[in-house]
Amino acid sequence: MLVAVSVDSQTTMPRCGACQMPANVPASDGVGSLFQVGVIKSFSTPRGDIADLKKTPDPWGDNMATILVTGGAGFLGSHLCDRLIARGDDVLCVDNFFTGRKANIQHLIGNPRFELFRHDIVHDLFVECDQIYNLACPASPVAYQFNPIKTIKTSTIGMINMLGLAKRCRARILQASTSEVYGDPEVHPQTEDYWGYVNPLGPRSCYDEGKRIAESLCMNYHESNGVEVRIIRIFNTYGPRMDPNDGRVISNFICQALRGEPITIYGDGQQTRSFCYRDDLIEGMIRLMDNNEHIGPVNIGNPDEKTMLELAQAVIAETGSKSELKFEPLPKDDPKQRCPDITRARTWLGWEPRVPLNVGLAKTVEYYRQLLASS
């Protein structure tokens, strides 16, 4: 069981079981900073060695897992926390709040199954858990190009730290990879056995190559150390809680339309993307994590391809906006086409997207309408 307690400068930390965190470490010696977000302060009661826990029956008949979600205050991470708590799991949410937002997880504060840690995974993290969902990394071009060195450190050093934690705790770890590993693809739609066409020196390389390295690290830890890994490749996903300023196409289009501003189209608008609603994406992610047969990688996305012009017209129709279209030059290395082949997801996981674009757009537009009105 996880118990939320107050931490102050006089509090000492108990020994942390499998991770062997030393006893009697004052919170003021740097450990306390892992547990503080504003006035939110908490830690786990010790659970002993994870190997022993798996052999010991729970006297309360409680079969929930303790699940670490890195990037848990982000767009997708916060929805994942919601889903896991709803099914009865204990969730350790870790975020450095570079792109994550406290508002995304504010409703979970005070829930006895939820703990929040302000922490950057490029530094060691000492917790115990049964599963790790690694979603920590800026995902929009605006965010990951703001500090490209930081971005690639998250996907390399941070990935090593999370794999090391999984090894110590004997936890299964899922890496949230990306369709960006395919670069500007020459194969369409993209299958998981396609190696991609990526510019290793371009402005997107900090993210693209970082995610490719992270996948390689996962496989190396699995083959060399027996770590249970799962890899999904996330295609364009949208829905409520997307940051309105993150520069992604759907958030850009909707916010511009609601403000009555011209909608910015890069290039001629004929480049394509496929858009998966957040609920469908989270379902696919959980199904792969809980699958005992397949490691991946598995594409999770919507194979219903749309041009940017088609998307802009759909947003204008949904918002009732009178916005016009404004055309700008296409950014360097921006992919011309992006669409997943989801044969593996259908075959291995029994998964496919169920929320059509018009339904998902309606929910997302309403979210942004309320957000803009309140601001």
What's the pLDDT at 337?
Answer: 85
The two beta strands, 40-41 and 36-37, are antiparallel
The two beta strands, 12-13 and 237-238, are unpaired
Under 8 Å between Cβ of 73 and 99: no
What's the pLDDT at 60?
Answer: 37
Confidence of residue 199 (pLDDT cuts 50, 70, 90): confident
- Mean of pLDDT values over 281-309: 97
- Mean of pLDDT values over 251-268: 95
Q: Determine which of 2-11, 212-221, 307-316 has the lowest per-residue pLDDT on average.
A: 2-11
Please determine, for residue 48, whether its predicted confidence score (pLDDT) is greater than 60: no
Please determine, for residue 3, whether its predicted confidence score (pLDDT) is greater than 90: no
What's the pLDDT at 335?
Answer: 78
Under 8 Å between Cβ of 368 and 255: yes
C-alpha closest to that of 119 among 78, 182, 70 = 70
Structure-block tokens of residue 102 = 């406290």
Peptide bond into 189 cis (omega under 30): yes
- Mean of pLDDT values over 298-311: 96
Under 8 Å between Cβ of 167 and 225: yes
Structure-block tokens of residue 365 = 């537009």
Under 8 Å between Cβ of 128 and 19: yes
- Amino acid, res. 19: C
What's the pLDDT at 62?
Answer: 55
- Mean of pLDDT values over 179-199: 90
- Mean of pLDDT values over 320-330: 93
Q: What would the pLDDT profile of 50-75 be if each residue is shown by its tens digit?
A: 333 333 333 334 568 999 999 999 99
What's the pLDDT at 270?
Answer: 92
Please determine, for residue 123, whether its predicted confidence score (pLDDT) is greater than 50: yes
Q: How far apart are CA 316 and CA 300, in angstroms?
A: 27
Please determine, for residue 116, whether its predicted confidence score (pLDDT) is greater than 90: yes
Under 8 Å between Cβ of 296 and 258: no
Please determine, for residue 114, whether its predicted confidence score (pLDDT) is greater than 90: yes
Q: Determine which of 12-16, 192-196, 232-236 has the lowest per-residue pLDDT on average.
A: 12-16
C-alpha closest to that of 375 among 103, 109, 144 = 103
What's the pLDDT at 63?
Answer: 67
- Mean of pLDDT values over 318-331: 93
The single residue listed with the structure tokens 């921006």 is 334
Confidence of residue 252 (pLDDT cuts 50, 70, 90): very high
The single residue listed with the structure tokens 């829930």 is 111
- Mean of pLDDT values over 27-37: 34
Averaged pLDDT score across all residues of the chain? 84
Q: Which residues are catalytic?
A: 207
What's the pLDDT at 61?
Answer: 41
What's the pLDDT at 185?
Answer: 86
What's the pLDDT at 143?
Answer: 81
The proportion of the chain whose per-residue pLDDT surpasses 90, expressed as a percent, equals 70
What's the pLDDT at 139?
Answer: 81
The two beta strands, 325-328 and 114-118, are unpaired
13-237+277-302+336-355 maps to which CATH number? 3.40.50.720
Structure-block tokens of residue 29 = 């010696």
Please determine, for residue 183, whether its predicted confidence score (pLDDT) is greater than 60: yes
